[in-house]
């Protein structure tokens, strides 16, 4: 059973906190305090929503406070429950999968690597970030509550939250101390699961190869886009592009494109921007009825019901 979170904290709706910060290439930008980039946020995951597969440069630890859900990391689907811990490194496409009637609460700590550094990382100090920087294809991102480690990590995350915002030297020293303890505990747990840093460099190069198609998608998502056309932008054959995109992102290009369009449609419906027919056309769907079918399949409700709920 998770320990009590400070009473004065309001749980945020995760969709509103996450999806608007995801761009066409699936990169999530976090509004860190640039002078000290670490944050702890408390999220409620519920209702009909689509949060796309996304990646980020920062490092993330999630604690499942209540409920149960599934985490997708690339093409792997990982079940989680209350008390579990989820560890996600940089540039890994991932998202939370949940049904419209689920009610899940989770605590997320996001931070940039420099927070853990006392300067340029040399010698033994570089190992603190190994659990995030050396995650291979079979890395066990979920640590079960039965291991006892998740609750220990959660306790320190709450301590970090109490020190935020890091407005004084004492706050910053305390946060770095608690974070180092968390990183050491994770290093001990994951000691036998690290991949090489060369693997991380290879992942970066794979993402760079897909950058032209992400740029193209941002400008042309409302137009008919064939896989062959996307492949040409990356100078690949169609078959190679399809395999490469699925391996790198964890989703087919067609599924990624549809999810991107539906995510934009959610935003327009939420803000009452145009009729459903106009939104359907603007998002590049061949008909309003097909848009409705796809939207309901991904979000869990029809566009009309979604709009009515958001405007109620």
- pLDDT surpasses 90 at 16: no
CA distance 170 to 175: 9
Confidence of residue 50 (pLDDT cuts 50, 70, 90): confident
Percent residues over pLDDT 70 in the chain:
90
pLDDT digits (tens, 9 = 90+) for 117-144: 765 544 566 678 888 888 888 899 999 9
Letter string b/e over residues 204-236, b meaning 16 or more CB atoms within 10 A of that residue's CB: eeebeebeebbebbeeebeeebebeebbbbbeb
User: What does the DSSP 8-state code read for residue 202?
Assistant: H
- The CA-based angle 131-137-138, given to 5 degrees, is 75
Q: What was the pLDDT predicted at 126?
A: 67
Confidence of residue 48 (pLDDT cuts 50, 70, 90): confident
Residue 235 has pLDDT above 70, yes or no: yes
pLDDT, one tens digit per residue, over 149-199 is 999 999 999 999 999 999 999 999 999 999 999 999 999 999 887 665 566
SS3 category, 240: helix
> What was the pLDDT predicted at 121?
47
φ/ψ of 43, rounded to 5, equals -120, 145
CA distance 157 to 120: 25
Q: What is the CATH number of domain 209-311?
A: 1.10.10.60
The predicted-structure confidence for 253-281, as pLDDT tens digits, reads as follows 999 999 999 988 988 888 888 899 999 99
Query: Could you give the C-alpha distances from 120 to 12, 33, 105, 277, 283, in angstroms and in order?
Result: 35, 21, 36, 55, 46
Handedness of CA 240, 242, 244, 247 (dihedral sign): negative
Strand, helix or coil for residue 103:
strand
Residue 28 has pLDDT above 70, yes or no: yes
**Domain 12-195 in this protein, CATH class:** mainly beta
- What mean pLDDT value characterizes the chain? 87
pLDDT at 300: 81
Domain boundaries along the sequence of the chain: 12-195, 209-311
| Tokens, residue 135 | 């995650």
- Pair of tokens at residue 48: 């009909």
Count of helix runs (H) and strand runs (E) in the chain: 11, 9
Distance of CA 216 to the CA centre of its chain: 22
Q: Which residues contact 186 (CB under 8 A, 6 or more apart)?
A: 87, 131, 153
> Which one has a higher pLDDT value, 158 or 20?
158
């Amino acid at each position: 059973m998770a320990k009590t979170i400070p009473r004065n904290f309001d749980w945020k709706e995760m969709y509103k906190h996450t999806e608007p910060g995801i761009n066409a290439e699936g990169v999530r930008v976090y509004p860190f305090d640039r002078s000290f980039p670490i944050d702890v946020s408390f999220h409620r995951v519920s209702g009909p929503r689509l949060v796309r597969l996304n990646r980020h440069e920062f490092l993330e630890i999630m604690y499942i406070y209540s409920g149960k859900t599934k985490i997708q990391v690339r093409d792997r689907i990982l079940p989680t429950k209350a008390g579990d811990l989820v560890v996600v490194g940089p540039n890994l496409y991932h998202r939370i999968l949940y049904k419209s009637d689920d009610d899940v609460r989770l605590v997320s700590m996001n931070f940039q690597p420099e927070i853990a550094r006392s300067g340029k990382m040399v010698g033994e100090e570089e190992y603190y970030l190994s659990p995030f920087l050396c995650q291979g294809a079979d890395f066990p991102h979920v640590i079960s509550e039965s291991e006892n480690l998740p609750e220990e990590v959660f306790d320190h995350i709450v301590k970090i939250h109490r020190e935020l915002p890091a407005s004084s030297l004492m706050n910053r020293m305390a946060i770095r101390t608690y974070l180092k303890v968390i990183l050491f505990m994770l290093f001990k747990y994951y000691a036998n699961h690290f991949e090489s840093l060369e693997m991380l460099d290879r992942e970066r190069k794979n993402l760079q190869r897909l950058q032209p198609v992400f740029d193209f998608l941002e400008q042309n998502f409302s137009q008919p886009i064939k896989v062959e056309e996307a492949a040409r932008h990356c100078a690949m054959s169609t078959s190679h592009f399809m395999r490469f995109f699925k391996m790198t992102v964890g989703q087919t290009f067609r599924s990624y494109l549809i999810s991107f369009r539906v995510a934009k449609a959610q935003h327009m419906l939420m803000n009452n921007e145009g009729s459903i027919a106009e939104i359907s056309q603007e998002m590049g769907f061949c008909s309003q009825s097909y848009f409705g079918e796809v939207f309901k399949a991904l979000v869990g409700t029809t566009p009309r019901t979604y709009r009515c709920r958001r405007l109620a």
